[in-house]
């Protein structure tokens, strides 16, 4: 196998796979903007999500972040949640095990509204 064959995502990164979560999708549910986060979030991949949350929060009383497809989250992700919560009523929907764990370990689950579905988060 050549080095090129092990570069499955074409990024040049020979790590465990794609790191960039890409540009998050966005839609509306019950009058609230919903931002859909996918993949792994760390210091190097958080920027597109930060931009999407900032845009969604602009002039809106609440924002739902669908985290049901987040596979990894570090302190950069947690910091973004806290900063966003300072500007709008941030609600999380469908936390995966990695997300739920970081929220519970840090106590942020007691500060943010965390619900199992986007529907519940948008209407609570």
Domain-wise residue ranges, the chain: 25-123
pLDDT digits (tens, 9 = 90+) for 23-32: 899 999 999 9
The answer, yes or no, to whether residue 96 has pLDDT greater than 50, is yes
Residue percentage of the chain with pLDDT more than 90: 81
Average pLDDT over residues 34-52: 98
Inter-helix orientation angle 47-57/75-87, to 10°? 10
Sequence length of the chain is 124
Q: How confident is the prediction for the chain on average, in pLDDT?
A: 87
**25-29 β-sheet, strand order:** 25-29, 32-41, 62-73, 89-93, 113-115
State the Cα–Cα distance between residues 90 and 114, nearest whole angstrom: 9
Class of 25-123 in CATH = alpha beta
Predicted TM-score (pTM) of the model is: 0.83
């Amino acid at each position: 196998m050549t080095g090129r064959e092990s570069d499955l995502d074409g990024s040049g990164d020979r790590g465990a796979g794609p790191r960039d979560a890409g540009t998050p999708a966005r839609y509306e549910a019950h009058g609230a903007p919903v931002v859909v986060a996918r993949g792994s979030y760390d210091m190097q991949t958080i920027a597109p999500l930060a931009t999407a949350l900032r845009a969604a929060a602009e002039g809106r009383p609440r924002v739902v972040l669908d985290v049901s497809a987040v596979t990894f989250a570090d302190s950069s992700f947690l910091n973004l949640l806290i900063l966003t919560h300072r500007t709008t009523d941030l609600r999380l929907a469908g936390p995966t095990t990695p997300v739920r764990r970081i929220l519970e370990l840090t106590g942020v689950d007691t500060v943010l509204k965390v619900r199992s579905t986007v529907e519940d988060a948008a209407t609570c």
